[in-house]
Amino acid sequence: MNETRPGLPETTLQPLVLASSSPRRRHWLEAMRIPFEIQVPDVDETPLLDEEPGDLVLRLAELKAEVVAQRHPGRWVMAADTTVAVDHHTLNKPVDVEDAVRMLTLIQGRAHQVHTGFCLQRDRDSHSFVDTAQVVFRPLTEAQIRWYVGTREPMDKAGAYAIQGIGALFIEGVEGSFSTVMGLPVERVGELFLRLGLLLPWMGLPR
């Protein structure tokens, strides 16, 4: 998929390429008023044997950015990947209803970690990191879990919940960045964009 986001100020710089189909990541770029195009890479997201959650999301973010950057020389490409971890379990997007129920049963009534890997690449110039937040879930009954899964909101979310949606009702607290849980560590990404001068042409901020 290749899509250009309209309605933003004109610039002599080429739009950033977002290597993601996530509506949350689109939202954050639009909020920062950064012109961008979307190109979703086709990569194998299967975890490696004994791969730690933080290593997984960093590897996938870098892989997605690399694949798309090869098609767009001289362009900045942004990619990210998010997963949820509890105990020794890595929770990606549920494959079906019962998998979503399983994930929510694992995380209810306790704390879990959300890891988001980020990569910004232009040719051989690459900047990447992992940001982690801790989320505490309220205790949930099986009936509550199945009701939530029935809304379909969990079905395309890592860990089977959306902190920016109905899932917020089940959260007691967050330690770290709220935006990291949504899928993009905006505080650190914004700092990097400012340092590289990616925000200044459109926002008119003083150097």
Which residues form the catalytic set?
81
Q: What is the 3-state secondary structure (H, E, C) of 96-160?
A: CHHHHHHHHHHHCCCEEEEEEEEEEEECCEEEEEEEEEEEEECCCCHHHHHHHHHCCHHHHCHHH
Helices (H) and strands (E) counted in the chain, each on its own, are 7, 8
Contacts of 167 (CB under 8 A, 6+ apart): 148, 153, 154, 157, 161
Question: What sections of 9-75 are H helices per DSSP?
Answer: 23-31, 53-71
Identify any residues that bridge with 125 across adjacent strands, giving them in sequence order. 122
By three-state DSSP, how is residue 54 classified? helix
Distance (Å, whole) CA 159 – CA 128: 23
